[in-house]
Chains A and B, each alone.
Chain A
Amino acid sequence: MARVMTPPRPPIAAAHLRNDAWWALPVTVVIVLGSFIVYSTWAALQNAHYFAPPYLSPFYSPCLSSRCLHMTFGYGLPDVQLPIIGVLSPAFLILWGPGLFRLTCYYYRKAYYRSFWLAPPACAVRDVKRRYTGETRVPLLLQNFHRYTWYVAVIFIVLLTWDAILALRFPAPGGGTQLGIGVGTLVMWANVILLAGYTFSCHSCRHVCGGHVDVFSRARTRYRAWHVLSRLNERHPVFAWLSLFSVGVTDLYIRLVSMGVIRDLRIL
């Protein structure tokens, strides 16, 4: 419905004058992001088929429950059990970390504010909602705490790297383990590299590591860090999408191997 414009503005009633396919991008984002949310929620609820020795799905890493099929921290750590375990999958114990990192990510904010909030759906296309408060009120005010979620995300990169290292240790026929490389190993390494690319190209990372400095000539190390991270930051949207796909593909691959639908091919 046409909105009444303030009188002195150009009296053009149309919500926009664009004649290109401006709607294509928001629609694509809704489909892709929506599909990932549906798949990851389904996978997290399964509480099964997330471990195919030596591969552990990123949705279930680290596995913190004694009922896990895989003990991320081996032996000696306290047996972490919460009443919720058994009712809900252990994936929910850890998925809030990477989930919040992506939810508050500056790039994803752009993507979903345009696609889901429609504020605005595209540049120079009128906002759908009449009322708008931006990120000035709770809950959207909490987007400003993206920094904290980045600190958490860095911990997950360490844990997933450890999982990728463990993916080189295959069960030996006579017991014990042996070094090897399977397709799953490559999938897990590709996933952790893309996730690290996404995490370290983050705007908060760029700021914390050097962007906060005003006089770079007096902070050479932080300047160099900021310089490198700025180059990486230019590719943040690419890493955001690729790492999203890689997490889903890694879980799917391990799930299918675990279910016996496909066989993991040993390369070495």
Chain B
Amino acid sequence: MPPATLKVFRGQAAQGDFREYRVDVDEGMVVLDVIHRIQATQAPDLACRWNCKAGKCGSCSAEVNGKPRLMCMTRMDIFEPGETISVAPIRTFPLIRDLVTDVSYNYVKAREVPPLRLRPPDADGKYRMMQEDVDRPQEFHKCIECFLCQDVCHVIRDHEEHKPAFAGPRFFIKIAGLDMHPLDTLNRTEFVRRQAGIGLCNITKCCTEVCPEHIHITDNGIIPMKERMADDFDPIVWLLRKFRGGRPEPA
């Protein structure tokens, strides 16, 4: 393959800019390989976070040509020959150095999510559930916490003022997975409305577009949670609940 030209963001805290590197590229290389080659041959102090190099640890999140992606899953042969490729840190979170950002906002949000509250076990002391009961939560368990969805979400990215009252797509699917869990007894609609700020989401589906695990974040997580909120105001659902039993208690 011909050599590639990369514009890599270099900087710390509030200072930094893009620096250009011309690098030899071998067949089958991904962007992370090229970053490693820059580290090895031209810029040993270039900071980047990585771990598995297999799209499963979620560490090497970056913005390649402006699109949030895992560097280890972005092949070099998708770019046009001669194209200058920009590699920037995920811009939504505070910069530590070069391509490394501080994603602790997400851990704060994770702690706010009301955990699973189990129903009492069956008479023999065991819990039972069928595969079809857990298919939906299991899709959300594929999340590798790369936080690309949080990065691309325009509510967090462009409207800093909403950060305290907005959980973001990663945590909407976490909440949805718990709310749909067959053994859970908690109703999280009030939480998702007031504390998680789901009303700020205008379902533009960027979170789904960037998810490397192809989780249907919007269709299977956020919209069902919005629909569960709408249940509280639907007279037909209210009537059905009178016959079939009500919702679990609020979180």
Contact = CB atoms under 8 A, between A and B. Distances in A.
A203 B223 contact: yes
A19 B65 contact: yes
Given A7-B14, A132-B159, A216-B133, A127 B91 contact: no
Given A12-B91, A18-B67, A207-B224, A135 B202 contact: yes
A127 B67 contact: no
B204 A120 contact: yes
Main SS of the interface on chain A?
A: loop
B11 A10 contact: yes
Interface stretch (B20-28, B40-48, B106-114, B225-233): B225-233
Given A16-B66, A127-B158, A211-B224, A109 B14 contact: no
A214 interface: yes
Interface string B27-71: 000000000000000000000000000000000000101111000
A28 to B, nearest CB: 16
Interface in A210-266: 211-212, 214-217, 223, 233-234
A147 B236 CA distance: 10
A70 interface: no
B124 interface: no
B74 interface: no
B203 A109 contact: yes
A8 interface: yes
Interface residues of B, number: 66
Interface in A7-27: 7-12, 16-20
A17 B88 contact: yes
B16 A10 contact: yes
Interface in B205-248: 205-206, 209-210, 218-219, 223-224, 226-231, 233-234, 236-237
A126 interface: yes
Nearest to A18: B66
A248 to B, nearest CB: 25
Contacts of A11: 11, 14-16, 95
Contacts of A114: 204
B209 A113 contact: no
A211 B133 contact: no
Interface residues of A, number: 51
Given A10-B9, A203-B227, A147 B234 contact: yes
Contacts of B130: 216-217
Contacts of A233: 219
Interface string B157-189: 111101000000000000000011110100000
A196 interface: no
B86 A119 contact: no
A18 B67 CA distance: 7
Interface string A90-113: 000000000000000010011001
A226 to B, nearest CB: 9
A2 B185 CA distance: 48
A139 interface: no
B9 A12 contact: yes
Interface of B: 9, 11, 13-16, 63, 65-68, 83, 86, 88-89, 91-95, 101-102, 129-130, 132-133, 135, 151-152, 154-155, 157-160, 162, 179-182, 184, 197, 199-206, 209-210, 218-219, 223-224, 226-231, 233-234, 236-237
Given A10-B89, A124-B68, 17 more contacts: A8-B95, A10-B95, A12-B9, A17-B66, A19-B66, A20-B65, A110-B205, A119-B154, A120-B158, A123-B152, A124-B206, A146-B230, A204-B227, A208-B227, A211-B227, A217-B129, A223-B132
